Amino acid sequence: MLKNELIVVHGGDIASMTREALAAARIETLIPSGAHIALKPNLIVAKPASSGATTHPEIVGAIIEYLREHGFERISIMEGSWVGDSTSRAFIVAGYAELSKRLGVPLIDLQQDSWKRYDAGGGLKIAVCDQAMAADFIINLPVVKGHCQTTVTCALKNLKGCMPDDEKSRFHELGLHEPIARLNRVLKPGFILADAICGDLDFEEGGNPVSMNRLVAGLDPVLLDAYACRIMGHDSEEVAYIGLAQRYGVGSADLTSAKIIELGDKEAAPNLSACSGRVRALAARIEERSACSACYAALVHGLARMEERGLLKRLDGALDGMRAPRVAIGRGFRGQKYEGVGCGVCARGASDWVKGCPPDGASVAAFLEKVARG
């Protein structure tokens, strides 16, 4: 695959979606023969992936099987959880200890590793764990989710787990954005497969998962993070480390020049039973009839952006003034008139609607803001 490409796989079967992404990217052609491959999930806390915080182990298991089928045997899983949680506990709670045992792949706890400092440019030296630096090919497996300090977290920030705990703390003192951008000049994964199955709405430690049912593969972490922003309803310019990483030559945030290849079952249904109280409260404004998960997630993200911008009450007022006071979404609205607003082409029978199939969170947020402001 090329650096300006992103492969988005929709669906409900995580293992087969993973295989589809790897095959479409032809990952086996990217990895040198005999390479030691390090799989770097996001296990920031000891929580299962259903919380929206951590990478689904089904992704990692499917990658290991795929790589073995293509002759790669030197594979390990490495991670260092955030300061205050234990990686070894996270390996157990998130299902990686069981995976490691079943597939015979070692787990490396980077919180226990030795480290060295590397020149990251701009006078900054960054401490990185030795086993991460020793890997020949890193596969970065971040979660697409919100973050209370940096707004969004995905590929660029996931590499923080490859540093010792003291360095993670120092990154906060340094304001996060600058050192995160520069860390990506030191550590350069060869492939990224982002878990956008049910990443959290706005916190990296999970608790409010939003069912998105997607995986996103790419080579450029800057492009992938810009795409993550878009699907979550943000402008990548809101996330300073993305622009900084672009300036430091890590990659390009230009989605207009990107080739986005969409595969899989776009009509996979969202898992609404897993919604938290916060997501359910936002979704009280939604009239859903057989919506696809990507579409539904864009609407939930759009509503969350309204809340952050202090526009939710105004939006509620505008919706209450309509004959149909909730936002229509889903295939069940095809060919139906709706005297209110809608989300996605299926709701084109609404009085006003946001284009796209699915629309992204940024378009939905812009549309809802227009509705709120009258």
Q: Two tokens at 285?
A: 């404004």
Q: Which is nearer to ligand SF4, 25 or 346 (CB)?
A: 346
Q: CA torsion sign, 330 to 333 to 339 to 344?
A: positive
Q: Which is nearer to ligand SF4, 96 or 367 (CB)?
A: 367
CB of 292 to ligand SF4, least distance (A): 3
Q: Which is nearer to ligand SF4, 161 or 270 (CB)?
A: 270
CB of 259 to ligand SF4, least distance (A): 20
Q: Two tokens at 170?
A: 């120092």
For 361, other C-beta atoms within 10 Å of its C-beta total: 27
Q: Which is nearer to ligand SF4, 157 or 230 (CB)?
A: 230
Residues facing residue 128 across a β-bridge? 116
CB of 37 to ligand SF4, least distance (A): 35
Q: Which is nearer to ligand SF4, 250 or 346 (CB)?
A: 346
8 Å CB contact between 211 and 198: yes
Going by their DSSP bridges, the two strands 107-109 and 75-79 should be labelled as: parallel
Q: Two tokens at 137?
A: 């090919």
Q: Two tokens at 256?
A: 């207009």
Q: Which is nearer to ligand SF4, 95 or 358 (CB)?
A: 358
8 Å CB contact between 111 and 127: no
State the residue for tokens 């960054």.
126
CB of 343 to ligand SF4, least distance (A): 7
φ/ψ region of 111 (left if φ > 0, alpha if ψ in -120 to 50, else beta) reads alpha
Closest CA to 344 of 240, 267, 242: 267
Q: Which is nearer to ligand SF4, 220 or 360 (CB)?
A: 360
* DSSP helix/strand/coil, 72: coil
Site residues (vs ligand SF4, CB under 6 A): 266-267, 291-292, 294-295, 330-331, 344-346, 357-358
Q: Which is nearer to ligand SF4, 62 or 346 (CB)?
A: 346
**Residue 293 is which amino acid?**
S
CB of 345 to ligand SF4, least distance (A): 5
CB of 304 to ligand SF4, least distance (A): 18
- DSSP letters of 241-306? HHHHHHHTTS----GGG-EEEEEE-TTPPP-GGG--HHHHHHHTTEEESS--HHHHHHHHHHHHHH
CB of 328 to ligand SF4, least distance (A): 10
CB of 257 to ligand SF4, least distance (A): 24
Closest CA to 297 of 186, 144, 159: 144
Q: Which is nearer to ligand SF4, 98 or 352 (CB)?
A: 352
Q: Which is nearer to ligand SF4, 152 or 294 (CB)?
A: 294
State the residue for tokens 């009509």.
267
CB of 215 to ligand SF4, least distance (A): 17
CA 154, CA 159: separation in Å to the nearest integer? 9
- With CB atoms as reference, the residue minimizing the distance to ligand SF4 is 344
Q: If you count them, how many residues does the chain have?
A: 374
